[in-house]
Amino acid sequence: MSIEDPTAEELFKAGKIDEASNSLWEEFNRAREQETRAINEFEKILWLTNSGAATITIGYITSADSPTSLLFLGSTLFVTGILLLFVMKFVGETNSVRDRVRRQKVSESFFHKGKPMSSFDNIRDKTFKRLAWIYKGLKSVAALCFISGCIVTLIGLLPLIKNS
């Protein structure tokens, strides 16, 4: 038996297959729970973006007859933040689903095709890391768009408030 990189058959012969199976099952459940959380978060974001769209609409309706360039810029930043948020959640969900599917395929190969335990090391590959990096970048840029959009919009509303 290869101590560092056993196959399922070698673990069975050594009486350690149940321990390995439980460990792999826990990892699979963790990946599945992460996928579920990503999907639930996507639904929450849909509600958030609907609220954002309502806020922008009310802002335009209650503003002056012709919105200032600051109001237009603030709203544009806000909408950009919403769009980035959608893309971010899509990337996050894609990565979670991809991680679960890859984990499931490797588990099947391990238990049924005699692949060594080290095959689990390749589940989170370069694509996973890139998608995670893109997700974090989109999250940061979306947050900056939201914050700057709110600030610019408030600055654009100041003259309207002073005139009323």
Residues of the domain holding 131: 8-158
Instruction: Let me know if residue 3 belongs to a domain.
Output: no
Instruction: Let me know if residue 153 belongs to a domain.
Output: yes
Give residue 111's pLDDT band: very low, low, confident or very high (50, 70, 90).
confident
pLDDT at 137: 92
Instruction: Let me know if residue 86 belongs to a domain.
Output: yes
pTM over 0.85: no
Instruction: Let me know if residue 52 belongs to a domain.
Output: yes
State pLDDT tens for residues 47-99.
Answer: 676 567 657 656 765 666 777 788 778 878 878 888 888 898 899 888 888 88
Q: What's the CA gap between 32 and 40, in Å, rounded?
A: 12
Residue 40 has pLDDT above 80, yes or no: no
Instruction: Let me know if residue 77 belongs to a domain.
Output: yes
Instruction: Let me know if residue 24 belongs to a domain.
Output: yes
State pLDDT tens for residues 124-156.
Answer: 788 888 998 998 899 889 888 888 887 887 787
What is the number of domains present in the chain?
1
Instruction: Let me know if residue 16 belongs to a domain.
Output: yes
Instruction: Let me know if residue 96 belongs to a domain.
Output: yes
pLDDT at 91: 92
Residue 2 has pLDDT above 60, yes or no: no
